[in-house]
Amino acid sequence: MTDLTRTVEDGRYELTGPAGTLTYTPPRIGQRLTDATLSADGDLPPWTVAAGYALDCARAHQNGAEALWAELEVLYAAATETGGPDGCALCGVVERQHAQHFFAGHQGADRKGWVAPDDQTRLARMRARRAARTTA
């Protein structure tokens, strides 16, 4: 992804793109890997900062900064990728991937199942994709 900016400040790793910023804070010396945290702002969905993803980032970070950046970029891509016209009516994720997001990150009030989009939503998504292709 070429439109992402990497920043390291005060021990925090920030990946910034059009949808917002994903911030990883590693555990301090003497803390467990599970003490790592993720935070997100902008339009990134709530499941992006689930505890399991912070632990994945902490494990990747043990293999070096580039491994951490790669993990953050994969997470960012998954958070901003929509399923096209047939994506969930509420979050845009395709039904098959929705189960992975559901179990990995939707917690508490954010927990929901896949909701089929109505015909108007599908048509609007198809028109938006066509417009994006013709202007690109």
CA dihedral 59, 61, 66, 68 (to 10 degrees): 70
Residues 103 and 37 in one domain: no
Mean per-residue pLDDT for 104-124? 70
Q: For residue 109, give the H/E element and its range.
A: none
Task: For residues 23 and 61, give the distance between their C-alpha atoms in angstroms, rounded to a whole number.
Answer: 13
Residues 107 and 40 in one domain: no
Residues 129 and 77 in one domain: no
Domain count, the chain: 2
CA dihedral 125, 19, 104, 1 (to 10 degrees): 90
| Range of the structural domain that residue 101 is part of | 82-136
For residue 64 the two structure tokens come to 């070096």
Task: Note the pLDDT tens digit of each residue in 81-107.
Answer: 666 788 888 777 777 666 655 544 444
Residues 75 and 105 in one domain: no
Global pTM reads: 0.63
* Burial label, 73 (beta-carbon count in 10 A; 0-12, 13-18, 19+): middle
Residues 98 and 119 in one domain: yes
Task: Note the pLDDT tens digit of each residue in 60-78.
Answer: 899 999 999 988 888 887 7
Res 2 pLDDT > 80: no
Residues 89 and 115 in one domain: yes
